[in-house]
Structure 1
Amino acid sequence: MTRELITTADDGVARCGWVSDDPEYRRYHDEEWGMPLHGDQALFETIALEGFQAGLSWITILRRRAAFRSAFDDFSIASVARYDEAKADELAGDPSIIRNRQKILATITNARVVENLISDDPGALDRLVWGHAPASHTRPETIDQVLSVTAESTALSTALRRLGLSFVGPTTMHALMQAAGLINDHAVGCARGDELAASRH
């Protein structure tokens, strides 16, 4: 099946082609995806969820986001950093989330690294992530222009890996940049993308 760059739903709104008719997916696309996201904890949550998404579809994570938040104490960096082996075992047995032990342990380790990073410098994660936002970005006009990795996402991945984070590969960090609004990657012709573009001028 050929993927479309833009689809127009039954509500008459033109959206990016990856959006299904799932109401929650539409809401996420219209209200969150591409909106500038700031704050150490908000970005830590997004990094964690993008890491869990690796190898899966985003809708799989989105449908479980409330359960993830409940299981991981709303992704409180300080709380997750204190998780021990028993807590990891508990999470690995929780059917409401993605029971991938490697990703669970990575989230705990990442929380400890981020806690150390921001302990004497609140906002350090925010500045590190946003420091890799490209100076300019061109929204895709064709399917061929829809990228999964960029020089900037590779650089961000390298910077985070140097700190000791994992599940932060270039593709995952490009998804973070799209989701957290470091770039407006809504396709040309997407109504929400046009609104975001107008708001930035």
Structure 2
Amino acid sequence: MSALVTGPDGLARPAWAESSGLLRGYYDTEWGVPVTDERGMFERISLEAFQSGLSWATILRKRPAFRAAFRGFDPDVVADFGEAEYDTLMQDAGIVRNARKIRATITNAQATVALRGRYGSGTGLAEFVWSFRPERTPLPERIEDVPTTSPESVALSKALKKEGFVFVGPTTMFALMEAAGLVDTHLTGSHRRGCSGLWDAEGESAGDPW
């Protein structure tokens, strides 16, 4: 069973990416594009955590509110959030008001800042995450062929937890790796397959995001 749908523009996408204009735009311009800056990676880790148990469409609709509430996902600013900021976030109807996920975002901002001692400002968290990029990427023909975890996502999850991050389980980290370009799980035949430029037709590494 093919999981690709041809849209009105004649381009092939998975069915989920054709379910709304919001998801189509995200799929066509962001999903799988390499993220190599600290703030961008922190935002994606944060949003992946908030997505747990919810649809990605819900998170995308609320992303402008998330960005406003978490000050553009600036790790330095979020790391300094205290109880007053936490209380404000819990009253913000524009975001997902989940106490554990909000506290996790603050905790992860603090862990992000702490990583700079090893990797430097600007790329620290991104460089850390990219160090778990696999040597090969999947070549899925159907949605059912796309894995939900990998040895690398398990290892990344463990490493991040060791560095003080929370809400970074293996499944969530595989979703992060897909979204941030560490793996390419665009279905073969999709017009976005290979959009990162980091993999050849056989799924072997063919480039460096840096």
TM-score bracket for the superposition, by shorter chain length: over 0.9
1:183 aligns with 2:179: no
CA contact (8 A) 1:153 1:174 kept: yes
Aligned residue in 2 for 1:47: 45
User: What CA deviation, in whole Å up to 9, does each residue of 1:107-128 have, x standing for no partner?
Assistant: 0011111111115622331221
With over 3 angstroms needed to count, the CA separation of the structure-2 counterparts of 1:83 and 1:4, relative to structure 1, is farther
Aligned residue in 2 for 1:168: 168
Distance between the aligned counterparts of 2:189 and 2:198, measured in 1?
13
Q: TM-score scaled by structure 2?
A: 0.89
Q: Percent identity over the alignment?
A: 44
Q: 1:115 aligns with which of 113, 134, 139?
A: 113
Q: Quote the offset at 1:195 in angstroms.
A: 4.5
Alignment of 1:83-102 (within 5 A): 83-102=81-100
With over 3 angstroms needed to count, the CA separation of the structure-2 counterparts of 1:96 and 1:4, relative to structure 1, is farther
Distance between the aligned counterparts of 1:110 and 1:70, measured in 2?
18
Given residue 167 of structure 2, which amino acid in structure 1 is its aligned partner?
Answer: F
With over 3 angstroms needed to count, the CA separation of the structure-2 counterparts of 1:103 and 1:147, relative to structure 1, is same
Aligned residue in 2 for 1:193: 193
Q: Quote the offset at 1:142 in angstroms.
A: 2.7
Distance between the aligned counterparts of 1:111 and 1:4, measured in 2?
40
Query: Per the alignment, in what secondary structure is the counterpart of residue 176 of structure 2?
Result: helix
Distance between the aligned counterparts of 1:13 and 1:193, measured in 2?
12
CA contact (8 A) 1:188 1:194 kept: no
CA contact (8 A) 2:4 2:15 kept: yes
Q: Quote the offset at 1:10 in angstroms.
A: 2.2
Tell me the number of residue pairs that the alignment of Structure 1 and Structure 2 aligns.
199
Unaligned runs of 5+ in 2: 201-205
Q: Quote the offset at 1:6 in angstroms.
A: 1.1
Given residue 131 of structure 2, which amino acid in structure 1 is its aligned partner?
Answer: G
1:104 aligns with 2:102: yes
1:31 aligns with 2:29: yes
Aligned residue in 1 for 2:203: none
Given residue 139 of structure 2, which amino acid in structure 1 is its aligned partner?
Answer: R
Aligned residue in 2 for 1:70: 68
Runs of 4+ in 1 over 2 A off after TM superposition: 119-124, 194-201
Distance between the aligned counterparts of 1:129 and 1:198, measured in 2?
16
User: What CA deviation, in whole Å up to 9, does each residue of 1:5-27 have, x standing for no partner?
Assistant: 21112222110232133112101
Q: Quote the offset at 1:192 in angstroms.
A: 1.2
With over 3 angstroms needed to count, the CA separation of the structure-2 counterparts of 1:152 and 1:115, relative to structure 1, is same
Given residue 166 of structure 1, which amino acid in structure 2 is its aligned partner?
Answer: V
CA contact (8 A) 2:137 2:199 kept: no
CA RMSD of aligned residues (A): 1.8
With over 3 angstroms needed to count, the CA separation of the structure-2 counterparts of 1:198 and 1:170, relative to structure 1, is closer
With over 3 angstroms needed to count, the CA separation of the structure-2 counterparts of 1:164 and 1:12, relative to structure 1, is same
Aligned residue in 2 for 1:141: 141
Query: Per the alignment, in what secondary structure is the counterpart of residue 171 of structure 1?
Result: helix
Distance between the aligned counterparts of 1:48 and 1:9, measured in 2?
31
